Structure 1
Amino acid sequence: MALRGTTYYNSCLRVIILMLLFSYGVNVPFSFGSSEPELLLKFRHSLQYENDTAFSTWNMSMSPPCSGDSPNWVGVLCTEEGRISGLILENMRLKGLIDVGALQKLPNLRTLSFNNNNFNITWPELNKLYPLKTFYLSNNKFYGEIPARSFQRMNWLKKVHLANNQFSGEIPTSLATLPRLMELRLEGNKFSGQIPNFLQKSLKSFSVANNQLQGKIPGSLSALPVSSFAGNEALCGTPLSACHSFESPSIITVVLIAIAVGVAVMIIGLLIFLFRWRKRRRMTVSLEIPLSNQIRRTRFREADEVSNHSRTSQVSNHSRRLENIKLCFVRKDTEKFDFHELLRASAEILGNGSYSSSYKAALLNGSMMVVKRFKQMNNVGKEEFQEHMRRIGRLDHPNLLPLLAYYYRKEEKLLVTDYVQNGSLAVRLHGPHDAGKAGLDWPTRLKIVKGITKCLEYLYKELPSLIAPHGHLKSSNVLLTQSNEPLLTDYGLAPVINQDLAQDMMVIYRSPEYTHEGQITKKTDVWSLGVLILEILSGRCADKGEMDLVGWVKCVEPEYWSSEFLDEEMGGTRNSEGEIVKLLRIALCCCEDDVNNRLDLKEVVEKIQEVREREHDDDFYSYASEGETHQSDEINFPFNA
C-alpha cells in the first residue's frame, strides 16, 4: 500500500511540474503534444542536401524549434507564443522536392525563403499556402510554366521573389490581382507574352528584366525605371522606346487596299448568302450531335447482327444496347421518344462553345426540342448525377424552362428541353431585330425582371442545399415566350460541371467575392441578377464585362442616368423615369462588392415587386407641385445605393 501511494504521489507531482512549466511559458519537449517539430522533420525528409550538418539542430530530443520568439533550430522564425512563423533556408545547396503538404499544416507560417539553392523542379504550388505574406525562390533552377490562377487566393501576399530561375510561359495574371503586393521580382527568367496590367498602388519594387516579354508596357508601370524592363527586346512603351507605328501609306496604296477590302467583303457576303440558302434547302439532315464513336459503332453492329444471328438473338442484343443508350425522362407529362428518334431528327446548330453545344431537333411527330451536349460534366458519379437530374426535373415554375430528359455517358451528357421559338433575351437586347418585332419597351422589361426574380426566389426555396441555385444567370440563359414571359435555363448545374471549367465559364465565378476571396455565397446569384438588370435597362452587353458595366453606372451622376445610361429602345418613359431609376438603384444594391452590404434575395424580391410601370404619388417619391416636371435625382430612396 505504501508503494502504491508513493507511485500516485510521484505521478501527481510530475503533472504539477508540467502545469507550472506551461504557466510560465517554458517550452516542453515535443513528446508532450506539439506537432510542429514533426511537420518540420517531414518537410526536411523531402529535401536533398550535401552538408550533413546543415540541419544538425533540427533534433526533437535536444530542443523544440522555438522557445518563445527565440529559434532553436537553424532557419526557423518564431512568434512570441513559440509557434513557427517562417523558414529561411538560404545558401544551403538544397535540392529535391518541397513538401507543401507538410508546410500547409503550420498555421502561423508567413515567410518562406529558399534563395540561392539548387532546386531543379517545376512550380512547387506554394499558392496552396494561402496565409503567406512573403516568399523568395530567387537564384535556383526552377523551370516550367506557372499556372495563370496560381496566386488567386493569396490575398495576404506582399513580396514575391522568383528572380534568376528558368520559369517560362506567360506571367501569371493572378499576380496582378494581389491587393497587398509590394515587391515582385521576376528578372532573369524565360517569361514570354505581354506584361499583365498591375494596378496595385502598394507596388514599390518591380522587375521583369532579362526575360522574353513583348508588347507595350502597361501605363500603370510607366513610372518605373528602365532597369525594371531591360533585356526584353520586344518590349516597348514608356519608360523604354516608343512602340513603332507604321509610316503613312501613299494615296495609291490606300486606294488599292480599299479596292481589295471591298472585293473581299463582296466575296464573303456572297459566300454567306450561299451558305444560308443551302442551309434552308437542307433542313432534313440528321442531327449532328458528335456522340462518341462507340454509340455510332453500336448501330452498325446491330445491322450486321441482323444478317448473322437468329431473330431471338437479334432482339436480345438490340434490347441490351437500347438499354445502354436510352434517354432518361424526368417528367411524367412529357411525350416519350427514344434515342434513335433523336438521332434521326432534322436539326440545326443553335450554338457551339467550350461550355456546351446546342442543337434544335425536329422530331418526326413535329415536336421541336433543344438538345444541349456537355463534355465537361464528370464532377460527380453516375448515381449522384442521375439523382441531381431527377431533382431538377421535379422543379415546376411558370418562369422556368423544364428539363424533359437526359442522356448519361461518362464522356458526355445530353440535356433535352422544349424549343422556345421567340429566342433569348440576349438576342432581343443586342441582336438585329426581326421584321415585325419591336424593341422591348419599359413595361415589358419590368415584366421580364419581375419574372426572373420570382423564379430565382423559387429556385432558392426548392434547392436550399445549393449555395448558388442558378449559378449561370445571364441574358443568353433567359428565353422569351411569345408574350415575352421569361424562362430561365441552365439552372442548378454548378454541382455537376467540372470545377476547372466552371471557374472559367459560369457567371458566379466572376463575382467579386470569388475573384478576391475564392468563394461564392448565398448572395452570389443576387450579384448576377443585379448585373442582368443593368444589362436589361441599358441594352449594353454585360456577358464579358460585368464589372465594367457596374463601374460605368456608378461613375455616372444620377441626374444623367436617363440620358447616358438607359436604352433608347425602351421608347417613351417620361412618366416612368422615377420607377426606372428605382429599379436601377435596386440593381446597384445587388452589385455591391461587399457581400455584407449586398441585399439578400428576399429583400430584392420585395423591392422589385414594388416597382411599377408608371409613377404615382405615394411610396418612395416626393413629387413637385402641379405643372412642374419631376426630376429623377429627387428620389428619396430608403436604402443606400
Structure 2
Amino acid sequence: MNSKKAFLFIFFFVSIFSQIAADPVEDKQALLDFFHNISHSHSLNWKEKTSVCKTWTGVTCNSNQSRVIAVRLPGAGLQGPIPSNTLSRLSAIQFLSLRLNAISGPFPSDFSKLVNLNSLHLQYNKFSGPLPSDFSVWQNLSIIDLSDNGFNGTIPSSISNLTHLTYLNLSNNSLSGEIPDLNIPSLQLLNLANNSLTGSVPKSLQRFPSSMFSGNNLTVENAPSPAFPVQPPSAQPSKKGIKLSEPAILGIVIVGCVLLFVIAAVFMMLCCANGRKDGVQGKEKKKEASLKKGASEKPDKSEKLVFFEGTNLAFDLEDLLRASAEVLGKGTFGTTYKAALEDAGTVVVKRLKEVSVGKREFEQQMEVIGSIRHENVAALRAYYYSKEEKLVVYDYYDQGSVSAMLHGKRGEEGRIPLDWETRLRIAIGAARGIAYVHTQSGGNKLVHGNLKASNIFLNSERYGCVSDVGLVALMNPMPAPMRAAGYRAPEVTDTRKATQASDVYSFGVLLLELLTGKSPIQTTGGHEIVHLVRWVNSVVREEWTAEVFDIELLRYPNIEEEMVEMLQIGMTCVARMPEDRPKMPDVVKLVEEVRRVNTGSRPSAELRPEITNPTPIAADIGAATALASSSTTL
C-alpha cells in the first residue's frame, strides 16, 4: 500500500515537473525580467514555479506550448518606461497589448526585434518622443494603435511599406509635419485626429471620413477636373466660296437624325415619369391609409379615445384613423405608427396585438401607466379599447430610438457616431426612468417588461426616456423575437413572467450595448448566433477587457475609466441569479457617480493628470464577472 502511495506521489511530482519543464524557458524569463523591472501598482500571478502557458494571466502560447505568442496586459497598473532587453526577447510574439496603463518614455527601440508582430496596442499610455523611423521591420503588422499618448515628430513614410496593415490609429498625440502618402490598399480604418499635422491630406487617404483628420491644420485638396484639350488655332477660312463637302452633308444628316431620336426619347421619358408619379401617389395614398386599413372598418361608436390629465391633445378616433400614417416598426407588442394629425401635430400610435386581458383590467392598467409623469418616462397620452382594436398614444420623438442612433448606418459614409457623453446620458436617464417606475407604483410592483434600445428615446434634455412601460401585463406570454430575446433575463425565458429584477437584467444588457456598439444578439456569416452577454463575459474572463469597447468610442480622450466603471455596473446587472442583481435605485446612484466624474472640467489631453493608480481592469471587474459568468446561457 505504501509503495502505491509512493508511486502516485512520484507520478504527481513528475507530471507537475514536466508541465513546468515544458514551458518556454527563455520567454518565461523574459516576461519575469519585464515585470520585475517595471513599476506596477498591482500584482500578477506570474510565478517562476507555475506554468507560463497554463496559468499566467494575459499570456498565450502556441499550440505546442513552445513559445509565447501573445501578451495582453490592459489596465494592469504598469508605470514608467519599458525595461530594455525584456519584451524584445519574445521573438515569436504576434499580439502585444499594453493599453490603458501609465507606461512612459520613448517607443522601445529594441521592439524592432519583434519581427513576427501582428497587432500592437499601446494606446492610453504616456509614451513620448518620435515614432520609430523604420516600420518596415514589422512586415506582418495589421493593427497599430498608438493613440492617446505624447508621441511627437513626423509620421514615418515607412508605414506605407506595411502591405498587410488594416488599422492605424495615431490620434490624440503631438505629431507634426505633413502626412506621408500612405497608399496601402489593405488599410480599412485610419485615425490621425487631434495632432498638429499640417499641409494637405494625400489623395490616397481622402477615402477616409474627414473626422479622422479633425483637430489638425489640414486641407483636403480636391483633384482638379481634367481640362478639355485646347485645339490649336487654325487658319481663318475665307468667307467667299464656302462649299460643303459630301462628308459634311452626311454629317449634318446624321446629326439631324440623332436630334430627332433624342427628342422622341425625352418625350417618352416624360410620359413614363408621369405614369410613375401617378403610381407613387397611389402608393403614398395606400401608406397614408394604412392605419385606417388595419383598424376595424366600422369602429365602435360607443367607445372613444380616453385622454389623460395634463394632455393638451384634442382629436377623436376618426381624426386618428384619417391621419397620414407611417409605419415606424413592428415589435413584440404590435405595430407602431407615426401619425400626422391635421390640427394636433404628430403622435405615435401603437396598435397592440395579443392582448389577453378584458376591458376592465385593460382600463385599470392604462390608468396606472397614464398616471406616471416623469421626465425619463414617455408619457401615455391616450388609449382606445374595443373588442377589435386596442390603441395607445404617445408623444413623437423626432430623433428616433437609441437603437437607430447606435446601430443605424454603421460603416456607411455620413454616419454620425453616438458620442460617449450622449451614451452616458442615455444610461442615466433610462436608469432614472425605470427606478421611478419601480418605486412609485405603490403595491402594484409595476415592471417595464420590454426594456430595449428601440424603446428608449432622448428627451428635451438629451437624457434617456423609456417607453412602453407596463404593457407586458396586458399581453399573452409569447416567445420574444430574436433581437428582443437578447434583453430577456434567464428566468423570464423559462417562466415568461417579467419582474423588476428582470428589468435590471435588461438594463444591464442595454449598458453593454452602449459600451460595445453591438446588438444583444447577432448572427455571424456562418449563421452562428452570438449573445452579447456571453461574448462580454468571455472577453472579460480572458482579461482582454479593453477589447469590448465600441471602436467608435476610441476617438474620445480620457473616458477609459468611465467606460470601465460602466462595464462593471453592466456586468453586475446581468448576474444570472435575480437576487444577485442590484435594485434600480442603487443602479441609478452607480451610473450617476460615473457621470459625476464626467461633469467637472475634464482636462484636455495635454493637461491630463498623472495616473498614479490606473484602473486595474481585470481586478475591478473580477467580482462583477464572478456574478455574471454563469449568465452565459440565456
Which range, TM-score by smaller chain?
A: 0.3 to 0.5
Does 1 or 2 have the higher relative contact order (CA < 8 Å, sep 6+)? Answer: 2
TM-score normalised by the chain length of structure 2: 0.47
